[in-house]
């Protein structure tokens, strides 16, 4: 983060907290780029992790000096782990395979035409032995048919729905309204993206704010095309290793076996990764937030400090950051792309999405 007396020359988004007495939870987007009143305001710019505050910030907050300032998501608590840049508030609510659209309704998980699960039982992450008194209550949830459920937007929508979605913890990030589409957000200017070399292996990572189990995939869509599920589904990226790395909240790291799923996935045989971090085990009733044991056996070396649900109802843990290696196809044409992350949950009927900008360059003679 950087505080400054004037706004940066370029930022992906400028949020005007000053319009609401420095309450950034109720802030509005602003197109203002100059200072207003000498010394009256300060600007807080947030940069991507590991950037050393170089390049363009992904968001800048305009605030009045000498005022108490509230940062966070309106109407609910806010996590740092797994929610950098408000990434945990872009998702789709009420999604199930076999349905034409997501319901966007917490009280109605699925349509009446939800299809039977396609995921092999060994890759489940919730109620694996089906001993829950509620029966097979995850059968219509996205991870039970990876990639087959529709989404409200390929990059998620603000707060997860077009209307108030606060009961399951959905809140639009500052400067956004319920249902704003992630695919409509500004993209990085050419030259500011991460650069990948065709034929190389790259590292990607994500974090969990609240652990809903399930699994995830990474896909590409050419920048010249509309950001849609159809576009992303044409370019699923394969994982490049049989292991993945967990960066622990304590600062240590673990290399653990990866569980790559290709059976029952959509598109057929596309690669998905099972979420390696088990949530808390409890029945689907009043004790569902009990945290005496995990939903499944944690990876080797992952003790009770590295698994859990990590929300207000359990232990408030900072769950590990999950680092994967992807294989960039050698045949991928050079150009600008959008990288799409899709997390299909099993514990809920939600699909989290995150989009970022990458530039692919041709392999060098040495690597070709």
Q: What is the DSSP letter of 143?
A: G
SS (H, E, C) the chain: CEEECCCCCCCCCEEEHHHHCCEHHHCEECCCCCCCCCCCEEEEEECCCCCCCCCCCCEEEEEECCCCCECCCCCCCCCCCCCHHHHHHEEECCCCCCCCCCCCCCCCCCCCCCCCCCCCHHHCCCCCCCCCCCCCCCCCCHHHCCCCCCCCCCCCEECCCCCCCCCCCCCCCCCCCCCCEHHHCCCCCCCCCEEEECCCEEEEEECCCCCCCCEEEEEEEECCCCCCHHHHHCCECCECCCEEEEECCCCCEEEEECCEECCCCCCCCCCEEECCCCCECCCCCCCCCCCCCECCCCCCCCCCCCCCCCCCCCCCCCCCEEEEEEECCCCCCCEEEEEEEEEECCCCCCEEEEEEEEEEECCCCCCC
User: Which two three-digit tokens encode residue 162?
Assistant: 């077009």
Tokens 């109720």 identify what position?
A: 26
pTM of the entire predicted model? 0.80
pLDDT reported for residue 349: 97
Looking at the predicted structure, is the pLDDT value of residue 80 above 60?
A: no
Query: pLDDT class for 19, splitting at 50, 70, 90?
Result: confident
Q: Pairing relation of β-strands 157-158 and 41-46?
A: unpaired
Helix (H) or strand (E) holding 284: none
Q: Could you report the per-residue pLDDT of 88-137, keeping only the tens digit for each?
A: 899 999 999 999 999 999 888 889 999 999 999 999 999 998 888 888 99
Query: What CA–CA distance (Å, rounded) separates 4 from 50?
Result: 20
Reduced to 3 states, what is the DSSP secondary structure of residue 260? strand
Q: Could you report the per-residue pLDDT of 198-218, keeping only the tens digit for each?
A: 999 999 999 888 899 999 999
Query: What CA–CA distance (Å, rounded) separates 341 from 324?
Result: 12
pLDDT reported for residue 295: 93
Tokens 């987007």 identify what position?
A: 29
Tokens 């999405």 identify what position?
A: 353
Q: Could you report the per-residue pLDDT of 239-285, keeping only the tens digit for each?
A: 999 999 999 876 789 999 999 999 999 999 999 999 999 998 865 44
* Torsion sign over Cα 135, 137, 138, 140: positive
């Amino acid at each position: 983060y950087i505080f400054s007396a004037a706004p940066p020359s370029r930022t992906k988004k400028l949020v005007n907290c000053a319009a609401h007495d420095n309450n950034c939870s109720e802030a509005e987007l602003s197109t203002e780029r100059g200072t207003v009143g000498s010394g009256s305001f300060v600007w807080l710019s947030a940069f991507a992790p590991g950037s050393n505050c170089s390049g363009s910030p992904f968001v800048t907050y305009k605030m009045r000096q000498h005022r108490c300032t509230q940062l966070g998501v309106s109407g609910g608590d806010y996590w740092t782990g797994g929610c950098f840049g408000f990434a945990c508030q872009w998702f789709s609510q009420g999604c199930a395979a076999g349905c034409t659209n997501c319901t966007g309704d917490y009280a109605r998980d699925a349509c009446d035409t939800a299809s039977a699960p396609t995921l092999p039982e060994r890759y489940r992450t919730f109620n694996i032995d089906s001993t829950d008194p509620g029966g097979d209550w995850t059968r219509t949830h996205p991870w039970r048919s990876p990639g087959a459920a529709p989404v409200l937007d390929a990059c998620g929508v603000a707060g997860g729905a077009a209307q108030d979605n606060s009961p399951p913890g959905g809140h639009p990030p500052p400067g956004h309204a319920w249902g704003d589409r992630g695919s409509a957000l500004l993209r990085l200017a050419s030259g500011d993206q991460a650069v990948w070399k065709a034929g190389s292996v790259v590292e990607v990572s994500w974090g969990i704010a609240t652990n809903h189990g399930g699994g995830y995939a990474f896909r590409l869509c050419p920048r010249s095309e509309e950001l849609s599920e159809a576009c992303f589904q044409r370019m699923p990226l394969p994982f490049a290793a049989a292991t993945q790395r967990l960066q622990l909240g304590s600062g240590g790291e673990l290399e653990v076996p990866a569980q790559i799923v290709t059976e029952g996935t959509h598109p057929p045989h596309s690669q998905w990764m099972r979420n390696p971090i088990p949530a808390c085990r409890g029945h689907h009733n009043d004790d569902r937030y009990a945290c005496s044991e995990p939903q499944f056996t944690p990876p080797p070396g992952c003790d009770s400090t590295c698994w859990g649900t990590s929300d207000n109802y359990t232990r408030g843990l900072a769950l590990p950051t999950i680092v994967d290696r992807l294989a960039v196809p050698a045949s991928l044409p050079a150009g600008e792309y959008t990288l799409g992350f899709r997390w299909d949950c099993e514990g809920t009927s939600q699909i989290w999405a995150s989009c970022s900008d990458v530039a692919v360059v041709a392999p060098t003679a040495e690597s070709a």
